[in-house]
Amino acid sequence: KDQYYVIGQPIGHSMSPTMHNEWFGSNHISGQYSAKEVGITELKSVMTEFRSTVKGFNVTAPLKVEIMQYLDEIDPLAKAIGAVNTVINKNGKLYGKNTDGIGYCRGLSYVLKNPIEDEKILIIGAGGAARAILYSLLHLGVKHITVTNRTLEKAEDLLDGKLMNEVNIMSISDAEEHLGHFSLIIQTTSVGMKPNENSTPLALTNLSPDAIVSDLIYSPFKTVFLKEAEERNATIQNGLPMFIYQGALAFQEWTGIFPNTIDAYSLLERKLG
Ligand code: ATR
């Protein structure tokens, strides 16, 4: 069987092996996907090994930036994001891609009624996940994007000294005040996850009931932020579609086949929901 991995630390709770092995099975492809605990200090030796033994792998925290120095080629979107989550091994050459942000956008198909270009988007947060989504939205030609973050300077850093005409930056309090203006709100911070599972990053008082509120977290399956949005009659989505679509796009890179995301959703919802 061809070998595939997800590497990171910690890695014990990763749902990627369950999902990818289901896809290898249902597509009758001889592949085995495993989770391997790898820290930054072991990455170099693992890469030497993987180069000759592994067909492809996913990369998660804390290795998404660190991995880049070991790759032979990195695609332009992954370069703009500054992180790689998917590696393809072609005859000993390692190609890096980032499927997180495009995966996020594809996952919106569950809830989006209009083309994504029509949405007025608010991204909450300015970490790695926000960066992947922002640059993927721009890559897809989306305009009307605003970023808000507890630390305003970090939101500005996302723009890399350019993009000032394309992307707005707002303080959290301004975003709260003008929240009714946004049709798609994307929560990318760790607020809502343990140990901050009872907090939200932003007050939803002025939320439009026509808005879609999306949170990248899926454990807890429904964050307090999503519960509050639901109480205000907004459409909500958790992070599971993003997780499934980033994986599906990686699977497609490795095998040429785009796998069944609906079955994967049912499988993972049963395990996590
Ligand atoms: P990731 O790569 O998962 O996006 P990260 O790079 O550590 O994680 O980014 C964390 C994001 O969550 C940041 O936007 C951070 O805000 P700051 O830039 O102000 O630090 C946000 N965040 C984390 N804890 C937070 C908290 N308690 N309240 C508000 N924002 C928080």
Does ipTM surpass 0.95 in this model? yes
pLDDT given at position 58: 98
Mean of pLDDT values over 108-122: 93
Predicted local confidence at residue 19, as pLDDT? 98
Ligand 1 atom at shortest distance from the alpha carbon of 188: 4
Per-domain residue ranges of the chain: 2-98+242-272, 102-238
Q: Is 138 exposed, middle or buried (0-12, 13-18, 19+ CB in 10 A)?
A: middle
List CB contacts of 188: < 8 A, sequence separation 6 or more: 123, 124, 125, 127, 129, 130, 133, 216
Q: For residue 177, give both structure tokens.
A: 């005040």
Closest CA to 65 of 76, 79, 54, 46: 79
pLDDT category of residue 184 using cuts at 50, 70 and 90: very high
Is 201 touching ligand 1 by the criterion CB < 6 Å?
Answer: yes
Q: Which fold has domain 102-238?
A: Rossmann fold (3.40.50)
pLDDT band at 10 (very low <50, low <70, confident <90, very high): very high
Q: Quick check: do 2-98+242-272 and 102-238 share a fold?
A: yes
Q: Which atom of ligand 1 is nearest to the CA of 130?
A: 4
pLDDT exceeds 90 at position 107: yes
Atom number, ligand 1, closest to the C-alpha of residue 131: 4
Q: Which two tokens stand for residue 87?
A: 């590696």
- CA 124 to centroid of ligand 1, rounded, Å: 9
Query: Where residue 80 falls among pLDDT bands split at 50, 70, 90?
Result: very high
Cβ of 191 less than 6 Å from ligand 1: yes
pLDDT attached to residue 144: 85
The per-residue pLDDT for range 126-152, each reduced to its tens digit, is 999 999 999 999 999 998 899 999 999
Q: Whose CA is nearest to atom 25 of ligand 1?
A: 191
Please write the tens of the pLDDT for every residue from 60-77: 999 999 999 999 999 999
Q: How far is the CA of 186 from the centre of ligand 1 (A)?
A: 13
Partners of 7 in the beta sheet?
A: 36, 59
154 lines ligand 1 (CB under 6 A): yes
* Residue 164: per-residue pLDDT: 86
Question: What percentage of the chain carries pLDDT values higher than 70?
Answer: 100
Which segments are annotated as binding site for NADP(+)? 125-129, 149-154, 216, 239
CB–CB of 40/67 below 8 Å? no
**Closest atom, ligand 1, to C-alpha of 154:** 18
CATH of segment(s) 2-98+242-272: 3.40.50.10860
Q: Is the CB of 222 under 6 A from ligand 1?
A: no
Q: Output the 3-class SS for the chain.
A: CEEEEEEECCCCCCCHHHHHHHHHHHCCCCEEEEEEECCHHHHHHHHHHHHHHCCEEEECCCCCCHHHHHCCEECHHHHHHCCCCEEEEECCEEEEECCHHHHHHHHHHHCCCCCHHHCCEEEECCCHHHHHHHHHHHHCCCCCEEEECCCHHHHHHCCCCCCCCCEEEECHHHHHHCHHHCCEEEECCCECECCCCCCCCCCCCCCCCCCEEEECCCCCCCCHHHHHHHHCCCEEECCHHHHHHHHHHHHHHHHCCCCCHHHHHHHHHHHHC
CA of 45 to the centre of ligand 1 (A): 31
Nearest CA among 79, 76, 55, 77 for reference residue 67: 79
Average pLDDT in the chain: 97
| Residue range 13-64, pLDDT digits in tens | 999 999 999 999 999 999 999 999 999 999 999 999 999 999 999 999 999 9
Does the CB atom of residue 85 touch ligand 1 within 6 A?
no
Best substitution site from 66, 156, 190, 218 to test ligand 1's pocket, by max atoms within 8 Å of Cβ? 190
Q: Does residue 62 line the site of ligand 1, with CB under 6 A?
A: no
Question: In angstroms, rounded to a whole number, what is the distance separating the alpha carbons of residues 14 and 249?
Answer: 17
- Residue 224, pLDDT score: 98
| Residue 1 confidence (pLDDT) above 90 | yes
